[in-house]
Amino acid sequence: MAGLKTYYYLYVIFFLSITTNGGMAQRSSSQAVKGAYWPSGAASTFPPSAIDTRLFTHLYYAFLIPSNVTYRFEVSNSTAQLLKNFTSMIRKKNPQAKTLFSVGGGGVDPAIFSQMALSSFSRKSFIDSSIEVARTYGFDGVDLDWESPQDPKDMENLGLLLQ
């Protein structure tokens, strides 16, 4: 097994499913989600082929950011290649692992999300573009990493977006 240094570039996250059995909460390791964010900026030093996919149930491509005007993803040719490489390599190494692309991240101006979620038109544009990216590049889903809704209106609009 590789040492921790190998996983330097993977931001690891763990979620545990809780089941109840006669009122007693139990942790079920077979239902645990073991995920990691792969930062696309590390592609030259830590390519997707270096990920030990046996350790994870979910792998997240980090990050895509929608346009702050159209709220659609404008994927450059180089990013398109990274996206294709990420999903195809994960599928090849572990067909059971789920791939998701993460939108946002801690360094993104929360105003982009606030404006995107503000109207039904901008939400639809974002949602349609998310579906297009997922289908085009073979992702199983999307991880919305809107880290800081700023006020109750943002929270309400986040609810509308998720709905």
Tell me the per-residue pLDDT of 6-53, one tens digit each, with 9 for 90 and over: 444 555 554 443 344 444 445 555 678 899 999 988 888 999 999 999
Cβ pair 43, 6 in contact under 8 A: no
Per residue in 106-137, is it b (16+ CB within 10 Å) or e — as a string?
A: eebeeebbbebbbeeebbebbeebbeebbeeb
Instruction: For residue 15, give both structure tokens.
Output: 């979620």
CA 136 from centre of chain: 16
**Structure confidence by residue, pLDDT tens digits, 85-133:** 999 999 999 999 999 999 998 889 999 999 999 999 999 999 999 999 9
pLDDT, residue 11, reads 57
pLDDT, residue 129, reads 98
Distance, in Å, from the CA atom of 94 to the CA atom of 55, rounded to the nearest integer, reads 10
**Structure confidence by residue, pLDDT tens digits, 48-71:** 999 999 999 999 999 999 999 999
pLDDT, residue 32, reads 87
pLDDT, residue 1, reads 43
Distance, in Å, from the CA atom of 27 to the CA atom of 118, rounded to the nearest integer, reads 39
> Would you please indicate which residues are annotated as catalytic (active-site) residues?
147
Q: Which domains does the chain have, with CATH numbers?
A: 4-162 (3.20.20.80)
The confidence band for 157, taking pLDDT boundaries of 50, 70 and 90, is very high
pLDDT, residue 4, reads 46
Give residue 43's identity as a one-letter amino acid code. Answer: A
Half-sphere CA count of 152, side-chain side, radius 13 A: 0
**DSSP per-residue string spanning 64-117:** E---TTT-S----HHHHHHHHHHHHHHHHH-TTSEEEEEEE-TTS-HHHHHHHT
**44 versus 141: which is more confidently predicted?**
141
Residue range 150-163: mean pLDDT, rounded: 95
pLDDT, residue 22, reads 47
